[in-house]
Structure 1
Amino acid sequence: MTTSPPFRFKPRTYIHFDLPVSQESAERLACDPAKVARHSFYPFVGYTNVIKKITRDEQGQVVKKDKPREIKIAAHRDAAIYARYADLLSPAYEAELACRGLAKVVTAFRQLSTGGTNIDFAGEVFLYIDHHRPCIALAFDLEKFFDTLDHGLLKQRWINLLGVGRLPDDHFSVFQSLTRFCWVNRDETFTKLGISSNNPKANNRRRICHPRDFRQQIRQSGLLRPNPTSGKGIPQGSPISALLSNIYMLDFDETLNIEISKLGGFYRRYCDDIMIVVPPDQQQAAEELVATSVHTAKLTFNEGKTDRAAFPEGKGQPTAPPDPGSGFSDRIQYLGFTYNG
């Protein structure tokens, strides 16, 4: 990366362990590699965000289930650093996508020149299915995606993207803060400190606690938690986490895009949602490719949750086999939308 993008500042209104930071102060910190290399990052503040996920029950019926996502929020100064380093890495990542022919393949967490929403991304898949019948659509869901990113692989992908032999000290500081992170549960912490969850800024409160009180009120109270998985996982919710997850998947995406294309098929990935459409006689080969690629990336997916739908030639709804355990359904689900032909 030969030129640096301009500094972008996003004010954050939540309370954290530090005070809100001005644009000038944030820029002085985040744009100085020496300061970033020496920076001490605060613990994240975590909470659970529940979204609705369309899936199948044991009888093969399509149902909506709660899918909890563990979100972790960075302190104000830390977030400024993460956002800056996301801006530094993003151009190199986009260039790599273009070089590998993946610009249209990876759709999550990117500023696409053509725009697009989940409706558009799902619509592209459904239109492809309609134009390539007969075919089989396969939808895979990577389990605990952010929690299982291997630190060694992530570091190497980061190094490769920068085109260096080792991470520079400032980049390593950011990497280490995301792989050796600590966090506190927001609700537990607010309760312990008498902070209202409904109005945490009551009484002109501007931060969770003063730095001098951190040791006694947070650390010695047992509120501080380390990353629960040694050697794996980054916090979901920081300004750089989404981009890093995409960087982690570069080789995965390239391999599957090439190999599925050889089968006469179509591959797309949106975060932890993978969609593949192949001719009917290539289903087994496609599923084996996915299983191998997931293993190589040191990730996991629940085969029992894989959605399959066989779309017949011409028009018509997929016919689900009588055995719910086959994984076949009379429709396919992607990004919250269903398609039945």
Structure 2
Amino acid sequence: MKSKNFTRRKFLGAAALTSAGMALDPSSLFGAPAIVKSLKKPNSLINGVQIGVITYSFRSMPDQSAEATLKYVLDAGISAIELMGGPAETFAGKPESQIDRKTLYALRRAKKQGDLTADQAKELTDLQAQMVSYNKEVAEWRSKMSMDHFTKLRKMYNDAGVSIYAFKPGVFGKDNSDADINWGMQAAKLLGASHVTVEHPSDDAHTLRLGKLAKKNKVFMAYHGHEQQTPTLWDTALAQSAYNAMNLDLGHYVAAGNADPLSLIREKSAHIKSMHLKDRQSPQHQKGNLPWGTGDTPIAEALQLMRDNQYKFPGTIELEYQIPEGSNAVEEVKKCLSYCEKALG
């Protein structure tokens, strides 16, 4: 399928937008740097607490380019972000994939469940071969591309009033080479990020490896968690390296059945580099992912704890509840930010 991403040339030629709050029409993307500088800059630093957003929150929006992503962030009123790898790598010229990933992932699930037909098994083998070939192409690209692209991307975001505090490219897995990992960490530094994020691998050897590479690159490796989070999940990694850190997910922590998440924040505050915010239910209430203020996650109390104790790590909005009909991701992120403003007011 042909990419919907806007080219940089189209972006620079689109000078129609004069306000960051205009309608979310991809054809109205603001253009030249001078126009970006003239826009009213956002400020989501609220009573000492930096509220950010992970750009994954905008995954449902039609254009996933770095330029469009910046517009979504600005329209939502956010001034600091955790940037996913996709927009940044596309901006830097990453080869486009023609692989049907949706089908690939569905076939992998079917294989795991033992439900593959002979034809599906053949299709899966073909798609996996395509993926191996594409990954080699991308690795070759990384080895030769100019890292200056990330400096330019940082400037574009910073000029618009948005800082990048974390970077999440898909290069920190056990199957990635040291070259891949170093590349991701160096890109993060050029983007201005203090840390990179990755799902906790539940593998002590890998967290040791990542911690050593993080120390070498002088950037923190912050481990994200889903429902595997416990009060002690990060302890081994934190003991392995001063550059291993936490990307706590408050909502998933609650959904995992852990009691008293505020105590964990107090205990681990020195190790938390950023904290994902979403409102999930406890296991007793089916673990739903709900609009903020309707679940069991103490978001307001956590934000107030950050304010009152002057914790410096940001709270990162991660939009994962179902977007209501007639709304969109930007409007829902705005609602989440408003919730934070009321909690911190």
Task: Give the structure-1-normalised TM-score.
Answer: 0.29
TM-score between both structures, scaled by the size of structure 2:
0.29
Higher relative contact order (CA 8 A, sep 6+): 1
Structure 1 or 2: larger helix share? 2
Q: Highest CA radius of gyration, 1 or 2? A: 1
